[in-house]
Amino acid sequence: MYDDILLPTDGSDGIAQAATHAEAIAQRFDATVHVLSVVDTRNRFESPASGLSSEAWKEAEGERADHAIETTVAALGDGVAVETDVIEGVPKTAILEYVDEEGMDIVVMGTHGRTGLDHYLIGSVAEKVVRRSPVPVVTVRLTDD
């Protein structure tokens, strides 16, 4: 039923909860977990006043994505087949494109559970993926516990 599981990560605290769910599904169906991190190409700080160049932003985002992959893979058990990928783009769009292009069967992803002003200003990548995904999406509330 599920051969390929997508586990997107931004390196947030609590990613182990989502990894635990992905691992359980992978073990049940003898599936591969694809750990994906997206280098966000939207530099919100690029302006003469902020002083952060697009090159510096991309480099920092690349380092964050690499670290997110390492952290998430470490949270998965040794008995799970894992593939990793770092891609560039707008996270919600890049994740959905990856699902289509790589033939994922299910997505397991964390959500911060933002509400109110935070949700309005920042939005929810998980919510956007749930609404547009052609495959089932399991969302896991990320906590620091």
Q: Is pLDDT at 122 greater than 50 in this prediction?
A: no
Q: Is pLDDT at 56 greater than 70 in this prediction?
A: yes
Q: What is the average pLDDT score of the chain?
A: 86
Looking at the whole model, is its pTM more than 0.85? yes
Task: Provide, rounded to the nearest whole percent, the portion of the chain with pLDDT above 90.
Answer: 62
State how many domains the chain has: 1
How far apart CA 143 and CA 63 sit, in angstroms, is 23
pLDDT in tens, 83-98: 999 999 999 999 999 9
Q: Is pLDDT at 120 greater than 50 in this prediction?
A: no
pLDDT in tens, 11-54: 888 889 999 999 999 999 999 999 999 998 876 655 555 556 77
Give 24 or 77, the one with higher predicted confidence: 24
The order of strands in the sheet holding 32-40 is 81-89, 32-40, 4-8, 106-111, 137-141
CATH number of the domain to which 49 belongs = 3.40.50.620
For residue 36, give its domain range.
Answer: 4-141
